[in-house]
Amino acid sequence: MDGGNIMDLFHRGRPVRVCAPMVRYSKLAFRCLVRKYDCDVCFTPMIIAADFMRSIKARDSEFTTSKTDRPLIVQFAAKDAQTLADAACVVSPFSDGVDLNCGCPQRWAVSEGYGACLINKPELVKDMVRHVRNQIDNPNYTVSIKIRIHKDLRKTVDLCQKVEAAGVSWITVHGRTADERHQPVHYDAIKTIKDSLSIPVIANGDIKSMQDVEAVYELTGVDGVMAARGLLANPAMFAGYEETPLQCVWDWVDIAVEHGTPFTCFHHHLIYMLERISSQPERRVFNSLSSTSAVVDFLHSTYGSV
């Protein structure tokens, strides 16, 4: 789909399946894995636009991609329009869109003026969207935002309508407020937002299986769903698997080795993937392994090859 129009995905008559931006986890190797299992769109981990623009070293370490890594959305944390637009211009030849993080609730982000505090600055967000729109020549390049909701939902609807008017391509809504962590997701709020906009809306929060995808789609009428932890636990989730199939585990081994994934990251992904399919004694042994060869030996002896 390289070079095509990512917006066409929203006209397929089924919810678009999206892999969320996850710190440390939604890197190139993992994106390659979920794409094998029916994930339509992948996000990079959140990148701080100012740091990204400041040094070539940051650009090289923060953003890696490949020809097959498409459709790809690059997510930035930013707090001024020009920095976001500059960063978007750098990545636009290698991606299909940029997304502004307006949802990260972590204290450091909010205190720096990034993430969830932006939902209280609709004029600034509007300005940022417009700047990117004006400075990228490709009309198919998307500019999206990912938000959390306000306690007073009217504020969220107002924000969304303002950025829609500024030309945002779509909005991802995590159905919790910035203060909520493990409380139930407010799907009714997502529905209200969807009903008040004419651009696509993607639902995010507690999507852990294809049943969840269908249920949220029915409940809210959204155009897509985004999963984070659900995909970590089961990267084959969008392909309809209830738990990680063995084939997917071995695919990860191959992809991670091919990409030279650092051991801790390689191991962490497997810890997530095996959680539902291994016994506690197996997990205890597995979690203590400290080399790729030990991991491969363990997988062979415990699960066999595909």
Q: Which residues are annotated as a binding site for FMN?
A: 21-23, 75, 174, 228-229
Binding residues: 21-23, 75, 174, 228-229
Nearest-10 Cα torsion for 8, 12, 15, 21:
-30
Residue 58 near residue 77, CB atoms below 8 Å = no
Distance CA 202, CA 194 (A): 9
Say which residues have a Cβ less than 8 Å from residue 54's Cβ, sequence separation at least 6. Answer: none
Just list the catalytic residues: 104
Helix pair 246-259, 263-274: axis angle to 10 deg: 170
Type of residue numbered 231: L
Residue 93 CB: number of other CB atoms within 10 A? Answer: 8
Q: How far apart are CA 19 and CA 248, in angstroms?
A: 16
